Amino acid sequence: MPFIEEPFRFGVVTPVGDGPATWRDEVRRIADLGYSTVLMPDVPGWQPAPGPALAVAAGLADIRVGTWVCASPLRPASTLAWEAHSLTQLTDGRFDLGIGTGRPGLDDLLRELDLPTLTPGQRVERIRDVVALLREYDGPNVHTPVAMAVRGPKARALAAEIADIVTFPSSPDDRREDVDQMARDLRAIREIPVALHVSFVGDTAAPFMTGPGVDPAQLRAADSLAILPADPAAAVEELQRRREEIGATHVVIGSNSAETLAPVVARLAGH
């Protein structure tokens, strides 16, 4: 059964790398290039916290903002739900909550912060609790979109219940057909937009979006969903293929590739 053709949306992960002034200019530039969303990674201690940064970003340009993605073990469910609803209010409904169970190696950070290291099942339940509380804060007339990063069967089952958008974090060893099948299985239950976490554009790696030592040639050889061609025409063709095959309509890239894919955004955004 073919997927419903949803319009493409493009987001950019934009860490505060070279200082707040440079970052503010970058937010404006990304909006001017036609991207739909400015996204912030969840990296405690490495840069400003996502909440305040995104509130500033929403005031700089008429653009959506979001987290990509909050790690569920880093905050109590009540705190994250309150922060998410507050950002929806402060941005006039332009906030998306990206949330997942956390990147590999998160346990070391949790110990540094004197936080409990939750089991995988507990991390998934924390996401359920966050979204349930968020819906209470939102009430009947507000809906904060939730983008879930999922891999295991419990996370995928929860996403089928509560997510507005899903993404499938991938590793260099992933087979394309396995990730494709996860997306098809999930969308067979419910039509949920799929977001592509694109950590490489050509040979350019996105900061905060890929692990160390990842070889783009390996990703290309595996036909990975985590890489797009740097050539705009080839990228357009590949994205149209991914929408047809798995319903992928949301594309998330790093800020250092925003100029490269600007022609792709001009061609596909909203179509």
Q: What is the pLDDT along the chain (271 residues), one digit of tens a residue?
A: 445 578 999 999 999 988 999 999 999 999 999 999 999 999 887 889 999 999 999 999 999 999 999 999 999 999 999 999 999 999 999 999 999 999 878 888 889 999 999 999 999 999 999 999 999 999 999 999 999 999 999 999 999 999 999 999 888 778 888 889 999 999 899 999 999 999 999 999 998 898 788 999 999 998 999 999 999 999 999 999 999 999 999 999 999 999 999 999 999 999 9
What pLDDT does residue 1 have?
45
Would 2 be classed as within a structural domain?
no
Residue 115 belongs to a domain with what CATH number? 3.20.20.30
Q: At 217, is the secondary structure helix, strand, or coil? A: helix
Q: Which domain holds residue 238?
A: 9-268
Please report the pLDDT score of residue 46 as a whole number.
82
Has residue 22 been placed in a domain?
yes
Tokens of 135: 């819906």
Inside any domain, residue 3: no
Q: Quick check: is 160 in a domain?
A: yes
Residue 90, both tokens: 């402060």
Residues 6+ apart with CB under 8 A from 133: 77, 78, 81, 82
Quick check: is 4 in a domain?
no
Cα 161-69-240 angle, rounded to 5 deg? 75
Would 121 be classed as within a structural domain? yes
